[in-house]
Amino acid sequence: MIHIKDLKSGLGIFKALSSDIRLEILELLNHYDSLNLNEIAEKLGLSNGAITMHIKKLEQSGLIGITTAVGKHGIQKICYINEEMLTVELKNRSEVNVYDVDIRVGHYIDYYADPTCGLATKDSIIGEFDNPRYFADPQHINAGIVWLSKGFLEYRIPNYLKPNQSFNELQFIMELGSEAPSYNNDYPSDIVFYVNNVKVGAWTSPGDFGGEKGKYNPDWWPLHLNQNGLLKLLRINENGTFIDGWRISDVKITDVNLKHNEDIKFKIGVAETGNVGGLTIYGKNFGNYNQDLIARVLFNINSK
């Protein structure tokens, strides 16, 4: 992940993204995983010389990487996306400190699940499909995908703050989707978020996406099942609660009962009314983003 903490430090990336052609190159690499220069030029209908300049700017910005391989016509340059996520802090947080914790999507501390439901590691299904009993199997901590039609998953986030430090913001980054039998690209589901048992807001997933293999799904994962979700950023701070910058509630960080000597509980559940379309959470080795649930704590160091 590329994390830009101040706008000036991100100038090279912003310049790289200011070209329609470079954006098209990134879209191609996202779709095909990797391409050589000839393939990119051919797909965009441009000369190799024109493409080379754009590739150089993308490489200098850190957005793509380049490796070499021996092909039919000699050594070829192979391009690929170097980072999967870009975040920009528009508000100056020069006095704010931060720590991140990666939580496996199967490393929940509590759950409730109704079929259709299940969980799987990168190697196999845990237990069997649609049997909630296997959510208690010790192997659940290794799961890279978890899905349920009704219910919730609750995670424990470590709290490393010291007495002279105070919470500034909580962030949760995760790949989410609905849960339909097989898959259904038009299958809305109201997914609800809680911190320390306080409901902070909800987001409507538009569907349970399939039909095209998820970028990181293992080879054995069936194509007739869901393949990927949408990457979402949930933020709770002094101004309210937001999903991808959109306010979803007025719940502030001071409302969620954060204490210095207690861990943080984060729960994701399916709404009991409205669009009850289930929940799927994708972790490493599944979906389109090779990451688990990322919990980020931003905090201040208070003067004595």
Name the residue ranges covered by the structural domains of the chain.
Answer: 2-81, 93-301
What local confidence, expressed as pLDDT, does residue 232 receive? Answer: 95
As a whole number, mean pLDDT of residues 132-156 equals 98
Distance of CA 117 to the CA centre of its chain: 21
What local confidence, expressed as pLDDT, does residue 92 receive? Answer: 55
In this predicted structure, the answer to whether residue 66 has a pLDDT above a threshold of 60 is yes
As a whole number, mean pLDDT of residues 130-136 equals 98
Residue 102's alpha-carbon distances to 122, 158, 159, 284, 295, in angstroms, are 17, 10, 13, 10, 6
The DSSP bridge partners found for residue 176 are 230, 281
For 93-301, CATH number out of 3.40.640.10, 3.40.50.2300, 2.60.120.260, 1.10.3720.10 equals: 2.60.120.260
What local confidence, expressed as pLDDT, does residue 43 receive? Answer: 93
In this predicted structure, the answer to whether residue 95 has a pLDDT above a threshold of 70 is no
CA-closest candidate to residue 145, choices 269, 291, 280, 277: 280
Report, at the CATH architecture level, how domain 2-81 is classified: Orthogonal Bundle (1.10)
What local confidence, expressed as pLDDT, does residue 1 receive? Answer: 61
State how far the Cα of 70 lies from the Cα of 95, in Å rounded to an integer: 49
What local confidence, expressed as pLDDT, does residue 263 receive? Answer: 97
pLDDT per residue over 104-123, tens digit each? Answer: 999 999 999 999 999 999 99
Q: Do domains 2-81 and 93-301 have the same CATH topology?
A: no
Q: Are 236 and 256 in contact (CB under 8 A)?
A: yes
Of the ranges 54-63, 111-120, 164-173, 285-294, which one carries the lowest mean pLDDT score? 54-63
In this predicted structure, the answer to whether residue 129 has a pLDDT above a threshold of 80 is yes
CA-closest candidate to residue 279, choices 187, 210, 171: 187
What local confidence, expressed as pLDDT, does residue 117 receive? Answer: 98
